[in-house]
Amino acid sequence: MAAEIQTHQLFKKYPNGTEALKGVSLEIQKGRFFTLLGPNGAGKSTLVKIITTLIQKDSGDFYIRGINPENYFSKIQKLIGVASQDNEIDLSENLENLLIFQGRLFGLSRKEAIERTNKVKNVPTN
């Protein structure tokens, strides 16, 4: 049986020198529950962000249903998502850019995301 999520030797090092992932390999089979446990700084959030294509890995491979997310980003975005326990919005970013970003996550082209954001900006409020 092929794994729904598979990683092989994932590495991620942040610009500040923190090595968040050091060769993580795992397979999660369809229909199984899987839990990531570990102390703060163990790389749990980094792994989830890589698998959900929110950040890029430095090296290694990962597949969702046998699909390489780096080659089929929009297809993967329709298959997976993540609900964080914390607010992940960049509070220093302006609302317009956040709306464009969300539109892109849901498969809109940059042009479409900008057009839809502009429509929302021009809707009068009561």
Q: What are the extents of the domains in the chain?
A: 3-79, 89-126
For position 114, what pLDDT does the model report? 93
85 confidence band (pLDDT: 50, 70, 90): low
Q: Highest mean pLDDT range out of 51-55, 74-78, 102-106, 115-119?
A: 115-119
Written as one string, the DSSP assignment of 65-121 is: TTB-TTT-HHHHHHH-----SS----TTS-HHHHHHHHHHHTT--HHHHHHHHHHHH
How much is the pTM? 0.66
Q: What is the DSSP letter of 122?
A: T
Retrieve residue 84's tokens: 């964080």
Tell me the percentage of the chain whose pLDDT exceeds 90: 37
For the domain made up of 3-79, give the CATH fold: Rossmann fold (3.40.50)
Q: What is the DSSP letter of 42?
A: S
Q: Which of 29, 27, 37, 34 is nearest to 6 (CA)?
A: 27
